[in-house]
Chains A and B, each alone.
Chain A
Amino acid sequence: MAEMETTYNFKEVMGRKERLAPGHRMCAGCGGTVAVRAVLRALRPEDRAVVGNATGCLEVSSFMYPYTAYEDSYIHNAFENAGATLSGVETAYRVLQKKGKVKENYKFITFGGDGGTYDIGFQSLSGAMERGHDMVYVCYDNGAYMNTGTQRSSATPQFADTTTTPAGTVSDGKVQVRKDLTAIMAEHHIPYAAQTTFTANFKDLHEKAQKAIYTPGAAFLNVMSPCPRGWGYDASELMNICKLAVETCYWPLYEVADGKWILNYKPKNKLPVEDFLRPQKRFRHLFAPGRENLIALFQAEVDKRWEDLQGRCG
């Protein structure tokens, strides 16, 4: 394994040259761009990269012809094939390197939203990971198809009000619980899988991105990346929403390295999940009189998964 930075130097990391240039068209308060910038910051400044991207908000807002926001080479192909596309790029690199046609050191990172990753691109992702390409697949998970206007995905939490699972007089929002994609990817027995989000100093995300990029072989990173429009929070509340997701154990920080499950953070006082739900408009209906049981059901699901994760992490 490549040598990792041993200590996290916030000032140095944040001072690195941005590899996603400003001027793109993502929304204010969008978690997607925060995730991309944070992941790319984990590249050694001297290393080159090819960045891949599934169709989605990020793609249509960061590479609108004739402008690209990426300092590195970049490829968008379609919605459901970011995994396969980058596996082609990575394979080409190995061949051209062997033939002496490419001499520089390249890393391969692809981004997809939960639509392109959990759902339509799931097969392509699974194939790319199973084949063991030396690449990182990063899901910026905002829990719905935001690019087309907040339709539910398999990453959408239960009871969320989306445009295809609207809460109404006879509907409580989305019926099903979330797919646990990070665990599914870990079960591919790839060298590295992790889930993270934005913590106050970005240490967790930075270190995981670094491990994902510099661990040889396939790696998967699931970054919870809130969406102010789809979740219904004020843009300035982004970091607070992430903190509540972690402190309620709705979105635990953990990693699976070489088959070893590691819990990276255990809250001292696990907050009730309604603290995470209350600031978001997509859960507003849960706080209406007569629907108290829904929050209890949501809490039970969080608790069950949290127990299970702790068990796996020993």
Chain B
Amino acid sequence: MAIRERLSGNEAVAYAIRQINPDVMPAFPITPSTEIPQYVANDMANGKIDTEFIHVESEHSAMSAAIGAAAAGARVVTATSSCGMALMWEELYVAASDRLPVVLALVNRALSGPININADHSDSMGARDSGWIQIYAESNQEVYDNFLQAYPIAEHEAVRLPVMICQDGFITSHGVENILLLEDEKVREFVGEYCPAHYLLNADEPMAVGPYAVSAYYMETKRAQREAMIRAKRVILETAERFARLTGRKYGFFEEYRLEDADYAIVIIGSAAGTCKAAVDEIRSATGKKVGLLKIRVFRPFPEEELAMALRDKKAVAVLDRSEMFAAAGGPLGAEVRAALYSVKSRTEFVNYFYGLGGRDITVEDFKEVYRKLEELSKTHEVRDMYAYIGLRE
């Protein structure tokens, strides 16, 4: 029987960490992820968990120590946000290149400057090319469920890549919601024991980690990472299936909400999907217009083909980005979805919006307006403002 509780997103992650009982947690506090190491430290102080905390002096050292511990053969977790992850940047690439299954609980927050502590995706989107698997959540339940699936994906012999489990700062990290939790035994059975194939502390096989690879070898290491990322797609789905058998909760690369028969679709990542669903329901019941939503769960590996097939026949698609990339063009999600549609020769109308930067609210009315503009676009075939900001103070 599942345990009914009310938890914030940060509490849900900390609860999952206690259940998984990883070996090592190096972490440095940063709003809004600070509570996660605090809760874990509290569990340690009360003997509820065997994890060793490393009180590092920075996030760069947090990821450096995570890499050292993972290379040594330990199961590792860390948590951060925003500038904390920016300081880890160099190390994110090293963790992926060293093929270490580190799990990072990322509580998304806008990057400085100006300094801002609220949600947007500029931190994780900036790290989208670092070689990490990225899984996003709409709700606290999804954060918890995604976190439980992180280690089976990361540690799978066909993958061996680091995973970041992302949630929106404050919106889910601090918002308390009803949640269904698994029993500890079930979690431990689902996640399993970590038995690395190669590690520094294997007395039978000393190993060297982190070589200097000249141009005769470097490219092959990148290809190997790419192959692992491709294989991760299968492992992510298999893990989701196993999770569904355990909980009844189904996950894929993305969620299609009233999308199948929809003419107009919004593509979005994270907590704002909940607001968008309300708009979809209201429009459908009030007008009968066929509107739907595609909510990305897995951004890396990018489910290009699956996503394109789900959107190819829509009359118009709007992709909403919660981070700028200053291309003087689209946002990261917009650019990739648009490229995916091109790959299936889709003629669907397309528009890219920016919303929610630095925690700016997006409302049901805002989403209704996007759907209204999509309908207009499908008739005029004329994109007036390809990269408009939603909710901007003009």
Chain A residues with a Cβ under 8 A of chain B: 48, 50, 52, 59-60, 63-66, 68, 70-78, 80-81, 83-96, 98-99, 101-104, 106, 123-124, 126-127, 130-131
Contacts and interface: CB of A to CB of B under 8 A. Distances in A.
B68 A86 contact: yes
Contact of B91 (A64, A68, A81, A94): A81
B57 interface: yes
Contacts of B71: 75, 88-89
B214 interface: yes
Contacts of B206: 48, 70-74
A130 B74 CA distance: 23
Which of A88, A99, A126 gathers most chain B CB within 10 Å? A88
A125 to B, nearest CB: 10
A123 B62 CA distance: 12
Contacts of B213: 64-65
Nearest to A52: B68
Contacts of B208: 63, 68, 70, 73-75
A65 B52 contact: no
Interface residues of B, number: 43
A123 B212 contact: no
6 contacts: A59-B212, A60-B212, A77-B67, A88-B66, A101-B73, A130-B57
Interface SS of chain B: mixed
B31 interface: no
B176 interface: no
Given A89-B68, A127-B61, A95 B50 contact: yes
A89 B50 contact: no
Contact of B203 (A48, A76, A83, A94): A48
B203 to A, nearest CB: 4
Interface of B: 23-24, 26, 50-52, 54-58, 60-62, 64-74, 76, 90-91, 94, 200-203, 206-214, 217
A94 B52 CA distance: 9
A96 B70 CA distance: 11
Contact of B207 (A73, A103, A124, A131): A73
B61 A104 contact: no
Contacts of B94: 77-78
Nearest to A80: B60
Nearest to B57: A127
Contact of A95 (B74, B200, B210): B74
A196 B210 CA distance: 29
B60 A92 contact: no
A86 B56 CA distance: 12
Given A65-B214, A89-B200, A95-B24, 19 more contacts: A63-B208, A63-B210, A63-B212, A68-B211, A71-B206, A72-B206, A74-B209, A81-B91, A84-B26, A84-B62, A87-B65, A88-B72, A91-B69, A92-B23, A92-B72, A94-B52, A102-B73, A123-B61, A130-B57
Given A73-B206, A92-B72, A63 B211 contact: yes
Nearest to B58: A123
B50 A99 contact: yes
A81 B66 CA distance: 11
Contacts of A131: 54-55
Contacts of B56: 84, 87, 127
